A = this chain, B = another copy of it.
Amino acid sequence: MGRRKVAVLGATGTVGQRMIQALDGHPWFELAELAASERSAGRRYADAVEGRWKLEGGIPDYVRDMPVLPCSPDIESSLVFSALDSGVAGPIEDEFADAGHYVCSNAKNHRMEDDVPLVIPEVNPGHLEALEAQKSNRGRQGFVVTNPNCSTIGLVVALKPLDDAYGARRAHVVTSQAISGAGYPGVASLDIHDNLVPYISGEEEKMEAESRKLLGSWENGFRYASMGISAQCSRVPVIDGHMEFVFLGVDDPADVDDAMRVMEAYRGKPQELGLPTAPEQPVIVFRDDDRPQPRLDRYMGSGRAAGMAVSVGRLREDTCDDGLFDYKFVVLSHNTVRGAAGAAVLNAELLEAEGYLR
């Protein structure tokens, strides 16, 4: 029984490169096709990506000589990963789904649509039920499943166990986001060297809206979580790893030790199903004062799941005694692994395990 052949759309970009890494040696999926924009199509992958491969370790050998195809739905692979830029992703992904492909997308375009699942497998696997509606609404055999924005994922994976246990009510979050999140060439060095930028276009809106969809439910329609989320996003001079500072108010608080245990004990569908890219423990809780840190801890998780575990640290009671907020803590997650390429691959693994890929 062979591995399922898969394709990556947008294979030359920062997230596409991470997808190629994430699929290298995958037990279920075989990277069979690469596609990218017209500028790259028709070229050998190593030539098309020349000067733009920015990951340690280089291009896997078997990928170097693969041809880059245009992003057209006559691609053979049934399962397609989209690392396309949001400027073009929307209609292309629709075209693929209409042609019967299963699209796991990292792009923002379809995330908030009424019949498109926005999924973190540990958090809301049940949202996949929306796929029936999507197929029926749109008269398509294929479908589009999306993963959230890179800054949303870390936050929501950390919030989910606390929400389940205590009822999350209000979260304030400030992010310190890595430069790889902006792609390549992305952030100019003159903009970020010895500096930070207190603004990332559209990021706060995405975090606020996506989180409430993810923590909500599917009941023949998406019901958004009622919790309030207010975000401030910034860019810092770090290659990989988004750090987030969270203030959280809940309905029924317990003490800090209990909250730590709740986070550490949390397991979801991917752990239950033993998905290949799933970390054994989705949330790692640090007890040292000064951890996690991006450079040291961004690759938490082991083997295929390196970079898929979310780290939490400095979990403590909120300082004020007005009862509005209960906890303060920091969250770290790898923005292009757990926050992008690995997220899409984990979604595909869930789809496969749950029988959505026929």
Contact = CB atoms under 8 A, between A and B. Distances in A.
Interface of A: 14, 50-51, 53-58, 170, 172, 174, 176, 179-180, 184-199, 201, 204, 208, 228-232, 234, 236-239, 243, 245, 247, 288-296, 298-299, 313-314, 318-322, 324-325, 328, 330
Contacts of A288: 50-51
Given A56-B298, A232-B314, A236-B237, 15 more contacts: A58-B296, A185-B188, A188-B188, A189-B191, A189-B192, A193-B295, A195-B295, A196-B238, A197-B293, A198-B313, A199-B290, A229-B320, A230-B319, A232-B247, A234-B245
B185 A228 contact: no
A290 B198 contact: yes
Contact of A172 (B172, B186, B201): B172
B230 A176 contact: no
A299 B187 contact: no
A230 B208 contact: no
A319 B238 CA distance: 27
A228 B320 contact: yes
Contact of A314 (B188, B198, B228): B198
A142 B105 CA distance: 60
Nearest to A317: B230
Contacts of A238: 194-196, 237
A285 to B, nearest CB: 14
A196 B319 contact: no
Contacts of A322: 170, 228
B293 A198 contact: yes
B236 A196 contact: yes
Nearest to A240: B194
Nearest to A331: B198
A328 to B, nearest CB: 6
Nearest to A320: B228
B204 A319 contact: yes
List of 5 A-B pairs having minimum Cβ-Cβ separation, nearest first: A228-B320, A185-B188, A174-B174, A195-B295, A199-B290
